[in-house]
């Protein structure tokens, strides 16, 4: 995904006020107007300026843009409210770069597209990488267990690892290997959904982020997940049946 720094195009800082953005746009547009400008790249600049102003003058689009590229005044991490090892922050996202997220005892290596999803939508579902061939970890109840292999003759080839269990040995969840990584748009915390509702989890289904955490567990703010905002908006606009 191409990245245009709209702040640079307008010649303002990323903390510029609405008025500063408007003033900068007016001034630049006057200078680069294709009908009157003597600049050789006036037409291209004019189009760029218009795109920059259109986005940055819209408060919601601007906020999303800032979040996406780690610009603006958002994106700071609130210190002091972290349970050790259960949180990771991506305050500054580099487009098209993979990220390693360390949350004990699992390390998630996310591809660039996955990081983009997590950053843009605030939610990422998937299957965690296996730690060892016979060690398992339940993303629902945090239970870890091992399947021991029978002893083998050292001269023969090692047997293939046993198939992954269909259910968690502790909570019996069928979707024990699925993870749900969540990211707060306010404080940039990335955290894994973990068992506040483990008794009620229906098998084979993951909860929505707001069902698990109505407020961000780190900064306590509501409306912290973009994908959830979208989903709720769609639900509300559906006609009642």
- Tokens standing for 232? 């709720």
The least CB distance from residue 102 to Zn ion, in Å, is 19
- Among residues 106 and 171, whose Cβ is nearest to Zn ion? 171
- Among residues 21 and 141, whose Cβ is nearest to Zn ion? 141
CB atoms under 10 Å from CB of 89, counted, come to 19
* Structure-token match 């390390």, residue found: 107
* Structure-token match 């605030």, residue found: 122
- Among residues 9 and 141, whose Cβ is nearest to Zn ion? 141
- Among residues 12 and 181, whose Cβ is nearest to Zn ion? 181
Q: What angle do CA 35, 40, 41 make, to 5 degrees?
A: 85
- Among residues 86 and 143, whose Cβ is nearest to Zn ion? 143
Q: Name 48's Cβ contacts closer than 8 Å, sequence gap at least 6.
A: 4, 9
Residues found near Zn ion in the complex (CB under 5 A) = 138, 140-141, 143, 168, 170-171, 176, 184, 186-187, 216, 218-219
DSSP 209: H
Q: What angle do CA 27, 29, 30 make, to 5 degrees?
A: 65
Q: Do residues 49 and 42 lie in contact, with contact meaning Cβ atoms separated by under 8 Å?
A: no
- Among residues 101 and 168, whose Cβ is nearest to Zn ion? 168
The least CB distance from residue 66 to Zn ion, in Å, is 15
The least CB distance from residue 199 to Zn ion, in Å, is 11
Q: Do residues 142 and 106 lie in contact, with contact meaning Cβ atoms separated by under 8 Å?
A: no
N residues, the chain: 241
The least CB distance from residue 148 to Zn ion, in Å, is 19
The least CB distance from residue 198 to Zn ion, in Å, is 7
The least CB distance from residue 205 to Zn ion, in Å, is 14
CA separation (Å) from 46 to 57, 68, 214? 16, 24, 44
């Amino acid at each position: 995904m191409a990245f245009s720094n709209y702040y640079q195009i307008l010649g303002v800082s990323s903390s510029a006020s609405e008025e500063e953005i408007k003033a900068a746009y007016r001034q630049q547009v006057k200078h680069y107007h294709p009908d009157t400008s003597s600049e050789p790249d006036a037409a291209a600049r004019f189009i760029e300026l218009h795109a920059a102003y259109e986005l940055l003058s819209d408060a919601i689009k601007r906020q999303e843009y800032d979040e996406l590229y780690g610009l603006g005044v958002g994106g700071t991490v609130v210190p002091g409210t972290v349970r050790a090892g259960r949180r990771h922050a991506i305050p500054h996202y580099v487009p098209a770069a993979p990220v390693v997220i360390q949350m004990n005892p699992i390390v998630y290596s996310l591809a660039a597209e996955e990081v983009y999803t997590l950053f843009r939508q605030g939610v990422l579902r998937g299957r965690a990488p296996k730690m060892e061939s016979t060690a398992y970890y339940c993303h629902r109840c945090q239970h870890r267990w091992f399947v021991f292999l029978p002893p083998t003759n050292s001269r023969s080839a090692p047997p293939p690892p046993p198939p992954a269990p269909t259910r968690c040995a502790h909570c019996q969840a069928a979707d024990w290997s699925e993870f749900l990584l969540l990211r707060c748009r306010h404080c940039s915390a990335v955290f894994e959904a973990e068992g506040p509702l483990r008794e009620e989890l229906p098998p084979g289904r993951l909860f929505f982020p707001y069902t698990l955490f109505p407020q961000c567990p780190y900064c306590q703010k509501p409306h912290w997940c973009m994908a959830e905002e979208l989903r709720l908006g769609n639900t509300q606009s559906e006609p009642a049946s």
